[in-house]
Amino acid sequence: MFTIHYLEEKVLTRVALKLAIEEQESCKVIYNGSCLNEYVDYLKQVSNPPDLCIISDCYAYTHLIKLIHQIKKLSNHTYIMLKSETKFMKGICFLLKNGIDGIFFTDEPLIDLKYCVRSRTKYKLSASKLKLITNNIKNDIHIKELNYNTTPLTKNEIEFIQACAKDNTYEEIASELHKSVSTIYGYRDRVFKKLHVKQRTAMVMTALKRNYIDL
């Protein structure tokens, strides 16, 4: 049995990924939760360390580094993987320099976790981006833009999509967000373009799939 611990703040995301993980042969999520402190307490009682620990990048990086060190104290056997939603490369490099073994992105197909761990694969990126990141792990980080996500959503656009998920009219959304109706239509047009969709339903479903919003 290939054992996995999984830490993620969003309940729906955590449940969905757990199900996806366990579809892979002999993979089993034996711990999943959202509180880092509770997980540290759990680690102190564990006799058999997991094969893989997946941690979402929704937590503060300073807290993640403390947790990484705690896991490595338990066992050098455990592979620690970052589940990244933001694709913030400078932050990812910082965590890689401080003990994270590998990463994967949640808007791409779920990688074969066992193969990743057993082959000690660190990345699922193109060769050019891989070279840029690995070079910067050894030196100071100077990555400003890898163009991996050239059109990130703004905070206002994410709040707009979240409001759309409630099935409100655009006028009701404008009132809820304290914006003018014309501003709301501007958000809609920009988000449609960024997500490459033409309908409101498709926009919400795409945003859910990419973990921009949670229900």
Domains of the chain: 2-138 (3.40.50.2300), 155-209 (1.10.10.10)
3-class DSSP state of 207: helix
* Amino acid sitting at position 140: D
Supply the pTM of this predicted model: 0.55
Task: Tell how far CA 105 is from the center of its chain.
Answer: 6
Give the relative orientation of helices 181-195 and 200-209 as an angle to the nearest 10 degrees: 60
Between these two residues, 195 and 146, which has the higher pLDDT value?
Answer: 195
Between strands 2-7 and 27-33, the pairing is parallel
Which long-range CB contacts under 8 A does 191-197 form with residues at least 24 apart? 191/153, 191/157, 191/160, 191/161, 193/151, 194/151, 194/153, 194/157
In this predicted model, which residue has the larger pLDDT, 117 or 23?
Answer: 23
pLDDT one-digit tens code per residue, 83-129: 876 666 667 777 877 888 877 766 544 555 655 565 554 434 444 54
* pLDDT of amino acid 187: 95
